[in-house]
Structure 1
């Protein structure tokens, strides 16, 4: 193996995972070439503000970038913007760019992220149909929400997931009417179940959001090439100033697939990686939204599309690329702001996995911690407007130990006490994903 000073590490993907991987390589003392490829013309940025503070106008453009503009040159990170990678030659260990340039690599990190799912209905070509994944998407959507007549026809949002709800909150703060069309019986139904979905639906209804549950968009209708309204499968016609497709994202695996790397099955999606984020090629790693990591020694995999995963997986992959012993097994974490409500979710409890939800605190005032249990084991926990409990919730989830549901619901019993520990807290980071 060549010494660090003559080795080249290439990172494909200009998001948070890729930028943090580059940062970690230098922090760990890697002295070779670090090349970071981004297919956008923007330097690496964080995505959570796109549906939150940046969209609502509470944060300026510079605040979304991972590093100051001069950081890359100062740390000898070769930043190639607007240059998509189009092929990987694994035999030669080369990456080919769209302009024909070939870049050799000793280690390669795929942090290609995900892309928005398309509606696939008539009218999606009209001006005023939006997706939200990139900074340019947020700029266009904010223009639609701040233009003249914003208090007239509504923004119609297809999908009541995290992005749909956060954009609904930002739009209402800007005075725009909002209608959310969602085929499930409530918001985030498959992620949080009906119990928490009811809480979130009530929060948004109080702020003037109109929901159409159990329905979906059938067509987008226009006038002079511009969105004018929508028609649902239930036959309802609604006026619309704009339409946001917020029906999820799919991992960007085309580059990996064409290179013959192993992919996860369609139910999970993404590039198959082991506990050290290594792909089926020992010289290639994957991190962030695109990585589907094995769970234990079985065939099951999990892919997490949240900010915290990109934040921590990028550095973990970088250390693995350097030959360090790495086991990436963090508890999944998500943070969201909607109106005056903040929530933090830790764990993994998809619909059908849990038996009951235990509440600690005041559900009516939306100041509580909710726990998803299978039997007496905590699978996940969500705090709403309750701070400094995430550390304890994550330790409780990770421990796998059984708890008494009645004790768990008692706010006078410290969560750390359920683990036999002294009470301890961790302030929230102030960023979400």
Structure 2
């Protein structure tokens, strides 16, 4: 304990104001480095989580499709196989997905239209909760209104569109829009003759708007009953694929690997491809993770640079206390005691800076969360700055900073033990 109290006394010695100021500056350097690191990692983690939530809010966890486009007729059998195979499956549903165009008056925009099964839509994705409505009961009514019966002559199919797209087209609930397939014959080209390769359009009626908070979806994605698209493209009972929602999104890779051989049970013939949400958005999530790692490394260098202040502070302390070191050595103090004395000083600077930095970083993250700083959704795809506060991130940064601080104390502490008592007292 002698080493600890002696080191602390030297560090807080008011008779050496210059050394006290340098110590405070060192603490501030470590504090700012830690604060910047935890804030940046929390924001980067927030982006990663927000993008994942938005993507999974609109899409399902696993998709099953055929390698040959527009030839998926046995989807009900596939759904049954999937549901019987795994207890992890919550819901399955068919879907149709195509790139098209939408027009109202003179305004035209490119879109993605997704045909869904209204009764299972809430089970396979969270998109229903983004529908702009007073409450869940009204959302359920809207989904019920989304049903379309193709046999009813002259009925205009209902559609739900994104809030951003509605604003761009100046469209509102109750308006009718034209959905246009520029080249309908591309969809199942073998079904159409040359005269049917011209643009084809169909009127849809807007029954609701949704706001997912993800610009790409709100600006392009339309939802309708998949039967309306089957009628539009003369597809009979054909779908693009089957959506699967599971209990644990981290287990989708295992389910994908398990379903692939179960569905492709004909030797030598792989008819179905199974894709999980990570495969579907691989580039997006890889870039987000790489961005998080890169920013973390850059911010860690700030902490490392701040640790050099500890080195400088201890070297100045050793030079200032040469006489005291020589006296202690003359009285029998070991090299280990001298070394520990200066290590404790450096760890005190690093420890105080780390604690203050973690508290400051927590405060910054709370402020960012509280005030919901707005972002340009056309650039960042989301409208507010996301922050994710994680205990293990703060703990990891704290441990890493204390370790760096410890390493920074080793050379000055070792150097202090190399001083000869005779040299230290020669000019006293």
Greater relative contact order (Cα 8 A, min sep 6): structure 1 or 2? 2
Q: TM-score, normalised on structure 2?
A: 0.18
TM-score by length of 1: 0.18
1 or 2, which has the higher strand percentage?
Answer: 1
